[in-house]
Amino acid sequence: MNGRMAWITWVVCLVAYLVSTLHRSSLGAAAPDAIVRFDATAAQLSSLAVVQLVVYAALQIPVGVLVDRYGPRTLIAVGGGLMAAGQALLAFTDLVPVAIVARILVGMGDAATFISVLRLLPSWFSGPRLPQLSQWTGNIGQLGQLCSAVPFVWMLQHLGWTPSFLTIAGSGALVAVLVLVAVRNAPPGVDAPRTDSIQLPASWWRRLRSAISLPGTQLGFWAHFSTQSPGTVFSLLWGFPILVSGLGYTRGEASGLVVVIIATGIVSGPLLGLLTARFPSRRSNLVLAIVAHMALAWAVVLLWPGIPPTGVVVWMLIAIGIGGPGSLIGFDFARTFNPVRSLGSANGFVNVGGFTASFCLMALIGVALDVIHHVRLDAGEQAGLYDWEAFRIALSVQFVALALGSAMLLHARHRTRRRMQEEDGVTVAPLWTALLDAMRRRRG
């Protein structure tokens, strides 16, 4: 473990995850073009992204079970092939129903990638570098969003819809081949999941139920739910319409602003990984601080009189950029409180959290935009479907998700700490108490 082959495996899987984020975020980068190509209302446009995320979230637990059974190598390769097929189909259609089928395929392939990569890490690495590698994986993988925000947008503008989507379809096929050639489920001499039968082990449901019932796994679910959704909603669908149609930026300027989210994740991710490893009993406080920061930034942007200045918009993008790597803390909870044999199932359940919040918010924002547009037109107002006043109201639904996630996280934390005290005799004092004790020790 921790050897040369481990690093090669990690790099290949990192490329696979990067490509999956490219496929995942490609529709968001292409949203202005999709509005024209499909002649879609806000609700119809959101349905393309929502169905992708619904499929992604619905498959997380089944994929987690399959990863524990067949091993991550097979799942990652199949995922690459499914994403390639979906993007190739999307390249040639201008019909919304066909596009929905294409995004379903992309969602299926994407669902198989990330938790499979996370499942590989404990088989190839050990020690304190594990939480840091999880952060590096999540954050470097977000460079796929950079690829969709810059070169993919450039291709859309200069090459057109079909060549652009065919190009990224090829990247999915390449990943499938690369993983089959270079990746193994475990080092030589270490038992890997069997792949000689399609029959699931009789204990799979008991293993899944056991993982989900743990308060620590639920804590991971709500941590992911609270931190990931604002950035996902922005990056996967509504970011470019907000920046271009709502705030009046050019496509090039919008691409540059989206890069802020990605750069923030790359910078903040390793720091969050270090803090998570250094203060494991304070991970929930870190999550709550990230959520509070996002809520404050969005409140300032939405309540700003008129169009908010670029500096305020950049601050909001930095806040949701921190939320991306912050969501990976949820997987660290799953790793801490679950045995390796059920880690895939636990990771799948945790990953459902953020994407459940995301697809609900995407759909609600789309419906809200259509309703607001009709109400304003009926009142005799000259209103655009995607102008800033409409977005200002529609985007406020995010606060409901942030509040719900924070409340449930506090509840799951209470149950987790009570169980730790009862079973292991470990007591975690409130943060303010720990800070006061630390100050007293320094003075003493």
List strand residue ranges (DSSP E) for 130-260, in order.
Answer: none
Q: Is 386 exposed, middle or buried (0-12, 13-18, 19+ CB in 10 A)?
A: buried
Phi-psi region of 322 (alpha: psi -120 to 50; beta: other; left: phi over 0): alpha
The Cβ-side half-sphere exposure at 253, using a 13 Å CA radius, reads: 12
CB 356 within 8 A of CB 230: no
pLDDT for 268 equals 87
Indicate the average pLDDT of the chain.
84
DSSP 174-193: HHHHHHHHH--SS-TTS---
String of b and e for 289-322 (b: at least 16 CB within 10 Å)?
ebbebbbebbeebbeeeeebeeeebbbbbbbbbb
- Taking residues 413-431, report their average pLDDT: 70
- The continuous run of DSSP H or E covering 117 comes out as helix 114-124
Q: Where are the domains of the chain?
A: 4-186+204-420
Angle between helices 161-182 and 72-92 (to 10 degrees): 170
| 201 pLDDT more than 90 | no
pTM of the model: 0.75
Residue 379 per-residue DSSP state: T
Kindly report the length of the chain.
444
- Taking residues 343-368, report their average pLDDT: 85
Beta-carbon contacts of 84 under 8 Å, excluding residues fewer than 6 positions away, are: 109, 169, 170, 171, 172, 173, 176
- Taking residues 347-353, report their average pLDDT: 82
| 429 pLDDT more than 60 | no
| 392 pLDDT more than 50 | yes
Instruction: Output the six-digit token pair for 99.
Output: 């596009």
Q: How does residue 150 score in pLDDT terms, banded at 50, 70 and 90?
A: confident
| 32 pLDDT more than 80 | yes
Q: How does residue 1 score in pLDDT terms, banded at 50, 70 and 90?
A: low
Instruction: Output the six-digit token pair for 64.
Output: 């987690």
**204 versus 61: which is more confidently predicted?**
61
Comparing 90-94, 376-380, 414-418, the range with the smallest average pLDDT is 414-418
Dist. CA 80–CA 143, nearest whole Å: 17
- Taking residues 22-47, report their average pLDDT: 86
| 308 pLDDT more than 60 | yes
Instruction: Output the six-digit token pair for 126.
Output: 């050990």
Dist. CA 355–CA 291, nearest whole Å: 16
pLDDT for 212 equals 78
Beta-carbon contacts of 166 under 8 Å, excluding residues fewer than 6 positions away, are: 87, 88, 91
| 309 pLDDT more than 80 | yes
Q: How does residue 119 score in pLDDT terms, banded at 50, 70 and 90?
A: confident
Domain 4-186+204-420 has what CATH class?
mainly alpha
- Taking residues 360-367, report their average pLDDT: 90
- Taking residues 52-69, report their average pLDDT: 81
Residues 62-100: tens digit of each pLDDT: 887 788 778 888 899 999 999 999 999 999 998 989 999
If DSSP codes are grouped into helix, strand and coil, which group holds residue 243? Answer: helix
pLDDT for 177 equals 93
Comparing 88-92, 140-144, 198-202, 372-376, the range with the smallest average pLDDT is 198-202
pLDDT for 57 equals 79
CA dihedral 208, 214, 217, 223 (to 10 degrees): 140
